Amino acid sequence: MKIFALVDCNNFYASCERVFDPRLKGRAIVILSNNDGCIVARSNEAKALGIPMGVPLFEQKAIIKKHNVAVFSSNYQLYGDMSQRVMDSLRLHALDMEVYSIDEAFLRLDPLQPRNLYEYCKTIRAKVLQWTGIPVSIGIGPTKVLAKVANHVAKKQTDDGIFDIRSQQAQDEILKTLDVGKIWGIAGRWSERLNRMGINKAAQLRDASPTIIRKHLSVVGERILRELKGQSCIDLEGVQSKKSIMSSKSFGKLLTKKEPIEEALANYAARACEKLRKQNSRAQAVHVFVQTNGFRETDPQYNNGFTHTLTTPTSDTRLIIEAAKFCLSRIYKPGYRYKKTGIMLTGLIPASLEQKQLFVDVNHHNPLMAIVDRINEDHGSDTLFFGAQGVNREWKMRCGSRSPRYTTQWDELLMVR
């Protein structure tokens, strides 16, 4: 029988902050979105105070001040690096693994055949905490869907953060009380559709007719039903190459001039190209868009985009920046206050596919990009960058409450006195 374990980091963003500042232990924490606008992550203590998810920060100022809630800007470099450390730790304990998100991973444990599965998961949990400082919860099940359910129980209803749902008794007890809308893979509309059919709990979906569920929710819904029955239909997935790559952020302030927008776009292009090379792909087209702030009703509004097809597929940052600036020149209009720009690399193909050009000498093996990537990976993001990316970067996002990037910037290393 297959044995899946879903390992999920507890309150991941807040936990990352606590690793380097033990004074935050037991204190309510909220993490803000880009430009410090909305609350996008909360510690358990913040949830207990009734602070909602996704609300603007200013609406919660009173409760934050009253309860001395710690407020942090998103520190994506820190969170990304800590995620990599957690995943590297998990890889030492499983032969097969699927990184599902920045803070979740599925493991296949049956090939290891541990004598005591519960004790083995306790070891995994203890080692991840010891090596990274991040607490995790582990759900064990015969399918990925049941492992996800088990993880929910492990996080909410256990003291040791581990729950095994492989027994029929455990499945019956949990599924009869679990709302169908909380099942992994059941989206909001599907949940509403099932409720109209009289299916409100996970056990009711499990016991429904596969034919009827397939008719109403497609083959995906039928797979979820069978997974709830303990029939493994969804195996681990390897890292899939993306078919397009997007890089976009709102500006720290509204911009009217073209030059700072070009700088921001060049930076987003550089980030997108790093991802493109990491998955060993090349782009055949570049799409750029700009938009104003639709919430400022007194301002004139303008949104537009332009796509440029490249003569030769490439992952060279210099060529992508050049194409992006060309696209921007076609859509930029003076007289507007721009809130956001972004770039999408599309038509991605494997770098191994080389199309020869009759009249153009194409060198796909330019070592410069590999050198730039290696230096930035070893010494921190933007150790090397292109002049088009600018220096002052007046367009940068507001992040007035960001903690230090303890693990990726030399000048922000933790100081011990």
What is the number of structural domains in the chain? Answer: 3
Residue 296 lies in domain: 245-389
Q: Are residues 19 and 127 in the same domain?
A: no
How many Å separate Cα 262 from the centre of its chain?
Answer: 26
Residue 409: the pLDDT is: 81
Q: Are residues 104 and 74 in the same domain?
A: no
- Pairing mode of beta strands 162-164, 136-141: parallel
> Of 183, 202, 228, which one is at a domain's C-terminal end?
228
Local confidence band at 327 (pLDDT 50, 70, 90 cut-offs): very high
On the question of pLDDT at 344 being above 70, the answer is yes
CA of 25: how far to CAs of 44, 69, 277, in Å? 11, 12, 39
In this structure, what token pair is assigned to residue 328? 């921007």
Structure confidence by residue, pLDDT tens digits, 51-105: 999 999 999 999 999 999 999 999 988 999 999 999 999 999 998 999 999 999 9
Structure confidence by residue, pLDDT tens digits, 19-62: 999 899 999 999 998 778 899 999 999 999 999 999 999 999 99
Q: For the domain that residue 311 is a member of, what is the CATH number?
A: 3.30.1490.100
> Of 48, 78, 108, which one is at a domain's C-terminal end?
78
The phi, psi pair for 25, rounded to 5°, reads -60, 125
Structure confidence by residue, pLDDT tens digits, 196-232: 999 999 999 999 999 999 999 999 999 999 999 999 9
Can you name the residues that pair with 345 across neighbouring β-strands? Answer: 245, 286
Helices and strands per DSSP (H, E), number in the chain: 13, 13
Q: Are residues 378 and 297 in the same domain?
A: yes
Question: Using CA atoms, how far apart are residues 400 and 393, in angstroms rounded to an integer?
Answer: 15
On the question of pLDDT at 403 being above 70, the answer is yes
On the question of pLDDT at 359 being above 90, the answer is no
Q: Are residues 203 and 173 in the same domain?
A: yes
Question: Using CA atoms, how far apart are residues 348 and 315, in angstroms rounded to an integer?
Answer: 10
Q: For the domain that residue 55 is a member of, what is the CATH number?
A: 3.40.1170.60
On the question of pLDDT at 301 being above 80, the answer is yes
Q: Are residues 42 and 161 in the same domain?
A: no
